[in-house]
Amino acid sequence: MDHSAEIKKAVESDLLPWFAENRRSMPWRSNRTPYRVWISELMLQQTRVDQVIPYFNRFMKRFPSLKKLAEASQEDVLKMWEGLGYYSRARNLHKAARIIVSDFNGRFPDTADKIQKLPGIGSYTTAAIGSLAFNLDLAVLDGNVIRVLSRLLAYTKDPRSAAAKKELQQWANDLLVIGRAGDFNESMMELGATVCLPKNPDCGQCPLARVCTANASGRPTDYPVKAPKKKVPHIVVGAAVITNSRGEILIAQRRTEDMLGGLWEFPGGKQENGETIRQCIEREIHEELGVKIETGDFLLTVNHAYSHFTMEMHTFFAKIKSGRPKPLECQDFRWLKVKNLRDVPYSRADLKIIDALETR
Ligand code: SF4
């Protein structure tokens, strides 16, 4: 028997029974509906299970059905997503819920073609929803599956390349146990998340150890092979907590098409060459809201890492010297008391400013 056939056999005879015994309990694994599978799969992209569980439970309480989600405002949906990151996921799922209600009579579409046409759904999510909710024979390829496959096969290409992804997807399709795609996908992901860990794979406890090439080589962590990471850019940002005589604070809403679109923030922006941080804040506020301000006391510096850059945000109090705010380079603005600031959604970095304001 060739090696691929041996692995395929071991998946069915050893991995699936292992999964049946070791499957972790998660809220979306009980009462499994297409809606719950969809929301959990979107939340789990780029985010750990333990972080997702409270978000998932709150989301389901607030929007118990697809219809309720479709009826909600985008701001409500973003509020439930606040802090989870990658906010286009929330905007897209809201759009998709409205499409499902208007075009599919509120029933989640049950073919790969139709699922993949919904906003924010790529090949991974289509395979996850298709296999878990509709038992379609589709294999998922996420970070965990890529690691497990790369090790089983001692795969020597960098899996981030498009060609390698195509090959790995083909291997996953070949290994798939027909008729049990949901179990197959979950068992591969579970193995990657709990046994075949990035730094410390527990090969002694692995149901696939017998057929694993990386294990036989004695150097499982040599796989997946990775080219050195590129250094991510670092940006310096200035932000203002603008107060008025009524004790309110001005917040601005980011434009939908921008990064973190639809979220609210303390206005400001990126420092330009040759500018002090106070000059940066004054220029940015003028461009964004059409008012001249004077910066006052320093409040705090927030450091935050996004996927493709890191940021330090220096925050100062400020007052308007002249002009009335207009939403020139933002979607909207509001004046709110500190106690009402949390009524609308923000990114994690701006939430740290609110924490600082509340503890003053
Ligand atoms: S034997 Fe080790 S390296 Fe191979 S799949 Fe199992 S845990 Fe991963």
3-222 shares its CATH topology with 234-358: no
Parallel, antiparallel or unpaired: strands 268-270 and 292-305: unpaired
> CATH number of the domain at 234-358, out of 3.60.20.30, 3.40.50.720, 3.90.79.10, 3.40.630.10?
3.90.79.10
293 is written with which tokens?
A: 């301000």
Cα of 12 from ligand 1 centre, angstroms: 16
pLDDT tier at 1 (50, 70, 90 boundaries)?
low
Q: Is 329 a catalytic residue?
A: no
Domain edges within the chain: 3-222, 234-358
CA 101 / ligand 1 centre spacing (Å): 43
pLDDT at 73 over 70: yes
Least confident residue range of 58-67, 210-219, 223-232: 223-232
- Predicted structure pTM score: 0.87
User: Residues lining ligand 1, CB < 6 A?
Assistant: 148, 151-152, 195-196, 201, 203, 206, 208-209, 212, 214-215, 220
Interval 27-40: pLDDT, tens = 999 999 999 999 99
Q: Which residue has the tokens 């050195």?
A: 228
**Torsion over CA: 30, 36, 37, 40 (sign):** negative
- What secondary structure does DSSP assign to 184-229, as a single string? HHHHHHHHHHHTS-SS---GGG-TTGGG-HHHHHT-GGG-S--PPP
Q: Which residue has tokens 């922006």?
A: 269
Rounded mean pLDDT of 316-343? Answer: 97
Identify the pLDDT of residue 107: 96
Mean pLDDT of 61-80: 97
Burial of 122 (0-12, 13-18, 19+ CB in 10 A): exposed
Residue 278: what are its φ and ψ, rounded to 5°? -65, -40
CB atoms within 10 A of CB 278: 18
* Cα–Cα–Cα angle for 164, 168, 172, rounded to 5 degrees: 170
pLDDT digits (tens, 9 = 90+) for 298-327: 999 999 999 899 999 999 999 999 999 999
CATH ID of 3-222, from 1.10.1060.10, 3.40.50.1100, 1.10.340.30, 3.90.1150.10: 1.10.340.30
What's the pLDDT tens digit per position in 92-106? 999 999 999 999 999
Q: What percent of the chain has pLDDT over 90?
A: 95
341 exposure class (CB count in 10 Å sphere: 0-12, 13-18, 19+): buried
- Mean of the pLDDT values across residues 73-98? 96
> Given ligand 1 and candidates 148, 194, 200, 221, which is best to mutate, with the most ligand atoms within 8 Å of its CB?
148
Find the mean pLDDT for residues 105-123: 96
Confidence at residue 2, expressed as pLDDT on a 0 to 100 scale: 83
Atom of ligand 1 nearest to the CA of 213: 4
Look up residue 82 and give its two tokens: 């606040």
| Residue 186 near residue 132, CB atoms below 8 Å | yes
